[in-house]
Structure 1
Amino acid sequence: MQNRNISDIIEQYLKSILKESPSIEIKRSEIAQQFDCVPSQINYVIKTRFTVQNGYLVESKRGGGGYIRIEKVDLVDDAEYLNELIEYTGESITETDAFKVVQALYENHFLNRREANLILSTFNRNVLAFSDHEIEDIVRARILKSVINRLKCAD
């Protein structure tokens, strides 16, 4: 356990709770107190480890009665997950972030290995090769959103 940092420990703790229940509601300050860390550490773990690409939906409500709700989505049946990936993609996406989205689609059985590799080959920097990287990111987002929309219709 010495080689693990506090973020890994918090992540493992939250995931262990999610194994028992499809969603959890936590208070940031209570979890921070439990692990003797600052509340921003909890934010960091949630923002980096419980992302849409990893199959989680996160909702937060600020204020005195505020909470953070983390839900593990049923990726096979949940079109909301694909909509979240489209929203995450936005109008522009880097090659690295697009790779993460395709990897998540593969890991969650929306794509097989061959399909994922074919998609990745369509929007890598060498293929797009625009002199303006912003245009590359826009074209990459359009390709990725088109793929995801097609997945929403496939059965």
Structure 2
Amino acid sequence: MRNISDLIEQYLKQMLQESSEGAVEIQRNELADKFSCVPSQINYVISTRFTLEKGYVVESKRGGGGYIRIQRVELPTLKVIHTHIHQTIGEQVDQTAAEGLIYQLEEAGIIAKREANLLRAAICRNTIALKLPQRDELRARLLKAMLISLLAR
């Protein structure tokens, strides 16, 4: 059985998919009521599953008429994707940012699930058994090389 965080994430992704503008505005309390959970659960889902690394921009307005706006950031062309990869990765990349980029590319349909799983296995801190900062440097070089190779197909 799926947990409440998974259900909230799926619900929000479905709303985004159905949105003509690629964005949704939600009221945190209303969503918490819908899923019979505390509002902090909504905050948790949004802050961990709708990050910039995963391809989302989140804005919030506090107060009585406050809302949370989630917008999907699209990766339109191969050139833009290459630029995005180089900007996101740089000379070093930590595991969280690397996994976020992989997630974003998988969600956008640019890489397949199997490719994403292989990339995750290769860049895992347990696989790259080095101390920091060498681990993040090697992860960046590996990830760039693998992604550019995959995208050149």
TM-score bin, normalised by smaller chain: 0.5 to 0.7
Corresponding position of 2:84: 82
Q: Secondary structure at the match of 1:12?
A: helix
User: In 2, distance between residues paired with 1:111 and 1:4?
Assistant: 25
Q: 2:14 matched to 1:16?
A: yes
- Unpaired segments of 5 or more residues in structure 1? 151-155
Structure-2 change in CA distance of 1:9 and 1:127 (3 Å): closer
- The percentage of aligned residue pairs carrying the same residue is 44
C-alpha deviation, 1:75, in angstroms: 1.9
Structure 1 distance, partners of 2:97, 2:50, is 15
* Residues 1:138 and 1:44: Cα distance change in structure 2 (over 3 Å): same
| Uncovered stretches (5+) of structure 2, i.e. residues with no partner | 149-153
Distance in 2 between residues matched to 1:90 and 1:6, nearest whole Å:
37
Give the TM-score of the pair, scaled to structure 1. Answer: 0.61
Tell me the matched-pair count: 144
How big is the shift at 1:145?
9.5
Residues 64-115 of structure 1: CA distance to partner in whole angstroms, max 9, x if unpaired?
A: 33321111222225959938x729x896513x6424423533553556888x
- Matches for 1:101-140 after TM superposition, within 5 Å: 101-105=101-105, 108=108, 130=130, 133-140=131-138
Which runs of structure 2 are paired with 1:48-67 in the superposition (5 Å)? 48-67=48-67
1:54 alignment partner, SS class: coil
Partner of 1:42: 42
Q: What is the CA–CA distance in structure 2 between the aligned matches of 1:77 and 1:23, rounded to whole Å?
A: 20
Structure 1 residues 102 and 28: alpha-carbon distance in aligned structure 2, compared to 1, 3 A threshold: same
Q: 1:135 to 1:10 in 2, by over 3 A?
A: same
CA distance in 1 between counterparts of 2:76 and 2:64 reads 36
Superposition pairs for residues 85-104 of structure 1, below 5 Å? Answer: 86=88, 92-94=93-95, 97-104=97-104
RMSD value over aligned CA atoms?
4.3
Q: Secondary structure at the match of 2:57?
A: strand
> Alpha carbons of 1:90 and 1:50: their partners in 2 closer, same or farther (altered >3 Å)?
farther
Partner of residue 3, structure 2: 5
Q: What CA deviation, in whole Å up to 9, does each residue of 1:119-145 have, x standing for no partner?
A: x86x67699764xx2212442576489
